[in-house]
Amino acid sequence: MPAPRPFRTGTPRRVATLSVHTSPLDQPGAGDAGGMNVYIVEASRRLAARGIEVDIFTRATSSDLPPVVEMSPGVTVRHVNAGPFEGLGKEELPAQLCAFTAAVLREEAQHEPGFYDVVHSHYWLSGQVGWLARDRWSVPLIHTAHTLAKVKNEALAAGDRPEPRARVIGEEQVVAEADRLIANTDEEARQLVRLYGADPARTLVVPPGVDLDRFSPGGRAAARRAVGMSQDAIVLLFVGRIQPLKAPDVLLHTAARLLADDPALRRRLRVHVVGAPSGSGLDAPEQLQQLATTLGIADVVTFFPPQPPERLADHYRSADVTVVPSHNESFGLVALESQACGTPVVAAAVGGLPTAVRDGVSGVLVAGHDAGDYAAAVRAVLARRELLAAGARRHAARFSWDRTADALVEAYAAAARDMATAPARPARERLLGPLRVLSGVQVAR
């Protein structure tokens, strides 16, 4: 077992990034791919630009996937065989954690001890794997939750399924074991401390960023031509996975309210929904289309599949308002991307959205999910759109992935210093703790 040691230069050489349930190569906006995928891709690229090699371990979901893919210089995606390639939902993956962990440990075992300097896990499933890797390799475990079961269950959308107790327990264990917890916002840090008993000294706030080169203001007329929209339309935009948690139904009810209040608006109002069913939304994949028909607004609603970044930027630029009515968001990258393109946002005042959107400056925050309140907020944004568009650009410019990467490097180094000076844990305790979890056995300490 290699002894714990700090990085010799204060900067790690190599990071093992764990993303069990979703690949950074997947298209965000469908399945389990969303803001977390964007986060891992962008942060990894910025770490590589600083000379830090990143290996991203993720579960293989097709026999056609090559074992190793160079995502970009210095960033390697490693596809791990853990269970059937297809047909496994996220809730079924805990049973595959032993297989996934074994593959990760085997990869490291092919190298000299100390090959990885840090383990960075994303989402609780990865945290369970990272916990064992940390104890086996004697390197720090940095964990980013992205979403929290207790928070989601406190703000459950109508018709959505609560997160299972197994996930709650798993999250509690990872929070207790991680050397550093990375929260997206001050609110998420408070939630980790209040709901999970996290150590405030090990809980850091590192906001995500936005690619300000890709998501930037551009010609609105050209963007509208690119998405097939008339120049005089009033466009309301939703981007994200179609599931109750994201509340796209609120946007449709809002559009219906706007038309009821002003029937003449029908000639110009257009609602664009960019995304695909996900999670519990797969139980009724046509539900949103059916709701549009029931509300009598099917003629003004257009559904688009998930879009690659360059096409997504055109959708943001072509919109008058982006609506983010989620029941919970750990941050809300969609809101930030929209603002970077100069499009104001109407968003729910939940989770990280009050950080992602500056109320009254870059958009409007709404308490609750009443369609009337959202309609009033949309009207307020349309009345001040040019002023809010300028504020949106200024607000988004405060966030960058370079700042995120710099803060992560600092967190990695601080955790390594702490580990180097901490009393060594007995080998039996280092190994048995994670094995209890991976075997599915809950053992009291």
Provide the annotated binding site: 21, 27-28, 32-37, 90, 123, 147, 167, 241, 246, 307, 316-317, 319, 329, 337, 343
User: Is the torsion defined by CA of 15, 16, 22, 23 positive or negative?
Assistant: positive
CA distance 414 to 398: 25
- Is residue 124 helix, strand or coil? helix
Residue 71 near residue 56 (C-beta atoms within 8 A): yes
Could you tell me the CA-to-CA distances from 387 to 343, 347, 362, 384, 394 in Å, in that order?
11, 17, 8, 6, 11
Beta bridge partners of 76: 55, 70
CA distance 221 to 130: 48
43: left (phi over 0), alpha (psi -120 to 50) or beta: alpha
Q: Cite the annotated binding site for Mg(2+) by residue number.
A: 316-317, 319, 343
What ranges make up the beta strands (E) of 234-340? 234-239, 269-274, 301-304, 321-324
Q: Cite the annotated binding site for UDP-N-acetyl-alpha-D-glucosamine by residue number.
A: 27-28, 35, 241, 246, 307, 329, 337
Residue 251 near residue 297 (C-beta atoms within 8 A): no
Residue 132 CB neighbour total at 10 angstroms? 25
CA distance 13 to 140: 13
Q: Cite the annotated binding site for 1D-myo-inositol 3-phosphate by residue number.
A: 21, 32-37, 90, 123, 147, 167
- Render 186-231 in DSSP notation, one character per residue: HHHHHHHHHHH---GGGEEE------TTTS----HHHHHHHTT--T
CA distance 341 to 389: 9
Q: Which residue type does 63 have?
A: S
Query: Of 260, 236, 262, whose CA–CA distance to 250 is shortest?
Result: 236
- Is residue 407 helix, strand or coil? helix
Query: Of 109, 119, 44, 39, whose CA–CA distance to 77 is shortest?
Result: 44
CA distance 40 to 35: 9
CA distance 330 to 373: 22
